């Protein structure tokens, strides 16, 4: 009787240990996914984003968009609330505005190039409204995630880039 109880207790402890190890392994991955990304950007699986306006794409995961959102909140939100541009509301982060810029900023490489060397909307002068983001500050992988978040928000988020506050 005691031997059987010991075996069942060991079995129960083993099952509990396996369950806890699975739970702790999946917990960080779930925590890294932002609810806004799932609900408003409608990202539940990897998505191909326009890389260069030439038909090339790059895949971004749910976690990539979540990291992009966090980067946006930490570095861009002071001037770009909800995709609007506070210093110049006529030049928002709406998809049509990004596409109409010179050069176009409606793909990953175009938006990254702008962030690396900000230019006025018509591309004629350096812009002083937006900070330059050098590679030493934000590596290529991070800045691409930031660009992917902005572009996906421009595509899907309700009211993104609206000129009305």
Per-residue pLDDT reduced to its tens digit, 15-38 = 444 444 444 444 344 447 899 999
Ranking 12-21, 31-40, 51-60, 68-77 by mean pLDDT, the lowest is 12-21
Neighbours of 46 (CB within 10 A): 13
pTM, to two decimals: 0.80
User: Would you say residue 165 has pLDDT above 70?
Assistant: no
Q: What is the largest CA-CA distance in the chain?
A: 87
Spell out the domain ranges in the chain.
1-31, 33-156
Share of the chain above pLDDT 90, in %: 73
**DSSP secondary structure of 88-136:** -TTS-S-HHHHHHSSS--SSHHHHHHHHHS-B-TTSSSB-SSS----TT
CATH topology of domain 33-156: Cytochrome Bc1 Complex; Chain D, domain 2 (1.10.760)
Vertex 149: Cα angle to 120 and 82 (nearest 5): 70
How high is the pLDDT of residue 20? 45
């Amino acid at each position: 009787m005691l031997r059987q109880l010991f075996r069942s207790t060991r079995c129960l402890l083993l099952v509990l240990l396996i369950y806890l190890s699975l739970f702790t392994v999946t917990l960080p991955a779930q925590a890294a996914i932002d609810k806004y990304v799932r609900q408003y950007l409608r990202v539940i699986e990897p998505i191909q984003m326009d890389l260069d306006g030439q038909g090339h794409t790059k895949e971004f995961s749910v976690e990539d968009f979540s990291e992009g959102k966090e980067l946006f909140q930490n570095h861009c939100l002071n001037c770009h609330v909800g995709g609007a541009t506070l210093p110049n509301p006529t030049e928002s982060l709406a998809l049509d505005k990004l596409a109409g810029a010179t050069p176009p900023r409606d793909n990953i490489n175009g938006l990254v190039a702008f962030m690396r060397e900000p230019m006025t909307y018509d591309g004629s002068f350096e812009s002083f409204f937006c900070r330059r983001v050098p590679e030493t500050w934000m590596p290529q992988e991070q800045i691409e995630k930031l660009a992917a978040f902005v572009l996906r928000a421009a595509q899907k988020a309700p009211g993104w880039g609206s000129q009305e506050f």
